[in-house]
Amino acid sequence: MQTLFPNRAHDVGIPDGLSVNSNSSVYTGNTSIYTGSNSSEDITTPESRYSWRPHVTLTFAQSIDAKIAGQGGKQLALSGKESLVMTHWIRTMHDAILVGIGTALNDDPQLNTRHLPAMTTVPGYEHKYHLPRPTILDVNLRLKPTCKLLKNYKAGTGRRPWIFASKPKNQNDLDEWWARKEALKTAGAKVYVVAATDGYISLSDFLKTLKTLGIRSLMVEGGAKIIQSFLRETHPGLDGKAIPIVDNIIITVAPKIVGADGVGYDCDLTTQLGQLNHIKTELFGRDTVMTFKFKND
């Protein structure tokens, strides 16, 4: 039996109904699988926009006071179980999934699809959903060789994580950097070296590299700095105009208040709002999930 591949973000965009076709929803605990886009409007992205990069979906969960984590970055269970299943379904739609090293160290995430219902009763194949490739932006190779992503890979329950790093400018730091690289490689990681400025990897370079590695769609899960960078960074279009490097944004809003001490993504969305089309707002349990798409030009 083969791994199930649902419709993919790079082929169909993000459907306007995240809860898939209304009579066979994977989110309700029903094991039927989404087989077609029920989009009523053109939500695909012009080939010209992402011939150089993968389709990019930015997604995160926030409280009603726009916080994504608690005081000091404490990981919060903002999403309820229904919207979590939706998030895991969206994971299956992408070739790769990204978090920054801040999130990788703080949350020790798994980035898999474990909240989806069993798809069959055949022993050993209950959970053969497509798993996105975990990717981490980690300039200084701070990821722990003991993290869950690497443990899952070693146990055969997760895909090999790809780390994107950058060589230190200071020669004195090079030996330690190589040692960390070797330790991560031994633990199973694949390390790609790309350009970085002031500790930040150029997202254009990162996306170009992903594309050359065969990644056609990327789900960006955060955290705060990564969200900011993806919303701020642009790329020159064919006419030289700055165009976004994100195609869709999916925001889960949980009916919770975190308070001023929490972590926000601190980004002036008003600069982007003019370019955003609202696609759909849906309720998942007590959470509201909004999908936006950047305008095509």
Ligand X SMILES: Nc1nc(O)c(N)c(N[C@@H]2O[C@H](COP(=O)(O)O)[C@@H](O)[C@H]2O)n1
Ligand Y SMILES: NC(=O)C1=CN([C@@H]2O[C@H](COP(=O)(O)OP(=O)(O)OC[C@H]3O[C@@H](n4cnc5c(N)ncnc54)[C@H](O)[C@@H]3O)[C@@H](O)[C@H]2O)C=CC1
Binding stretches for ligand Y (CB under 6 A): 60-61, 68-69, 73, 75, 78, 99-103, 106-107, 137, 139, 199-201, 203, 221-226, 229, 263
SS3 23: coil
Number of H helices, E strands in the chain: 9, 15
Beta bridge partners of 109: none
Q: Going residue by residue from 75 to 94, which x/- string records binding to ligand X, judged by CB under 6 A?
A: xxxxx----x--x-------
Q: Report d(CA 240, CA 290) in Å as an integer.
A: 30
List 54, 222, 244, 262, residue binding ligand X (CB under 6 A): 222
For ligand X, which is the closer residue by CB, 203 or 289?
289
Per CB under 6 A, which region of 31-39, 104-112, 225-233, 275-283 contacts ligand X? 104-112
Per CB under 6 A, which region of 70-78, 137-145, 271-279, 288-296 contacts ligand X? 70-78
Give the closest residue to 5 by CA, choosing from 30, 25, 35. Answer: 35
Site for ligand X in 235-264 (CB under 6 A): 252
* Residue 90 neighbours by CB distance under 10 Å: 25
Closest distance between ligand X and the C-beta of residue 107, in Å? 3
Residue 226 interacting entry, from ligand Y, ligand X, none, C-beta within 5 to 8 Å by type: ligand Y
Closest distance between ligand Y and the C-beta of residue 184, in Å? 15
Closest distance between ligand Y and the C-beta of residue 120, in Å? 30
Q: How many CA atoms lie within 13 A of 25 on its CB side?
A: 14
Per CB under 6 A, which region of 99-107, 121-129, 208-216, 272-280 contacts ligand X? 99-107
Residue 110 interacting entry, from ligand Y, ligand X, none, C-beta within 5 to 8 Å by type: ligand X
Give the closest residue to 98 by CA, choosing from 129, 58, 61. Answer: 58
Q: Report d(CA 217, CA 11) in Å as an integer.
A: 9
Per 3-state DSSP, the chain is made up of helix, strand and coil in percentages (nearest 5) of 25, 25, 50
List 7, 25, 103, 209, residue binding ligand X (CB under 6 A): 103
Residue 229 interacting entry, from ligand Y, ligand X, none, C-beta within 5 to 8 Å by type: ligand Y
Could you tell me how far CA 266 lies from the centroid of its own chain? Answer: 18
Closest distance between ligand Y and the C-beta of residue 89, in Å? 15
Residue 282, judged by CB atoms within 10 A of its CB (0-12, 13-18, 19+), counts as middle
- The set of residues, in sequence order, having a beta carbon less than 8 Å from that of 101 and lying 6+ positions away, is 136, 137, 138, 139, 140, 142, 143
Closest distance between ligand X and the C-beta of residue 153, in Å? 14
Closest distance between ligand Y and the C-beta of residue 164, in Å? 8
- Give residue for tokens 């993968």: 54
Tokens of residue 277, six digits: 């089309």
| Contact assessment for residue 27 and residue 21, using Cβ atoms and an 8 Å cutoff | no
Closest distance between ligand X and the C-beta of residue 206, in Å? 17
Give the closest residue to 105 by CA, choosing from 68, 144, 152, 47. Answer: 144
For ligand X, which is the closer residue by CB, 130 or 208?
130
For ligand X, which is the closer residue by CB, 59 or 209?
59
For ligand X, which is the closer residue by CB, 90 or 187?
90
Contact set with ligand X (CB under 6 A): 61, 75-79, 84, 87, 99, 103, 107, 109-112, 221-222, 252
